[in-house]
Structure 1
């Protein structure tokens, strides 16, 4: 069978890329063996620790142990309390501007090297968040009632 030099190089590269063995003859997954062994040891240690603790712990439930505890006082009324939605909305607005800061600081460091297209992409991003802030402001999300 005749092979041209170009075909031979391509077939050798294809064999290397598609095989599960690297150029030294080792399995490509052999580099992950220590990580997998360590992960298995961690999971095994956790499972064994929980099982031993469950077997060895004393379990003597009574009415006092089963009662709810609230800062040393006897519980009065239901334990579930509804929080105002204002906390939730303020948290969402905070997260939006936190994401803005996470993207804005690294962008400012590479702006000169990235050029004008990066500027316009970030300008569109900031404008979108600005519209979101304007909407939140008009809806009264930022006013504490």
Structure 2
């Protein structure tokens, strides 16, 4: 960088003007070197994926049979329409399970903070409020009959 500054000052001493656009060329080439590495890595990644898919397509055996052309449904031959009615209660039950499973994860950090000195009473009250909200949600789901499998 000092040689570039020396050249610029030498040009100015002789009365020659150095365009400002050419003064930063050395700096900009170093700036774009990082982008060149990222671009090269992206091109290599895309080529790797294309070569892998091409090799898989060329090397795989292709023997179409009627069994292979059927729609796969968990090992059962597809019969009837593709549209089936499913009761919403299964989704609600699964949703409730996910909610309570995720909320139970919050009990582990509480247990570690509860053991720390000075946090006992406050964390105990906060956790009972949290568990109260969970209990109200579970009670609401039970009253609505969501937990019934009949």
> Gapped runs of 5+ residues in structure 1?
1-32
Q: Label 1:115 to 1:69 Cα distance change in 2 as closer, same or farther (>3 A).
A: closer
Match of 1:76 among 74, 79, 88: 79
> Gapped runs of 5+ residues in structure 2?
1-36
Q: How many residues align?
A: 110
Indicate the structure (1 or 2) with the bigger Cα radius of gyration: 2
| TM-score, structure 1 normalization | 0.56
| 1:137 matches 2:135 | no
Q: Deviations over 1:81-120 (max 9, x none)?
A: 3322222111112112212321113312320313333223
Contact persistence 1:100–1:126 (CA under 8 A): no
- Distance, in Å, in 1 between the alignment partners of 2:46 and 2:107 is 39
| TM-score, structure 2 normalization | 0.54
Alignment of 1:1-145 (within 5 A): 45-59=48-62, 61=64, 65-69=68-72, 74-113=77-116, 114-145=119-150
- Compare relative contact order (CA 8 Å, sep 6+) and give the higher one, 1 or 2: 1
| RMSD, aligned CA | 3.5
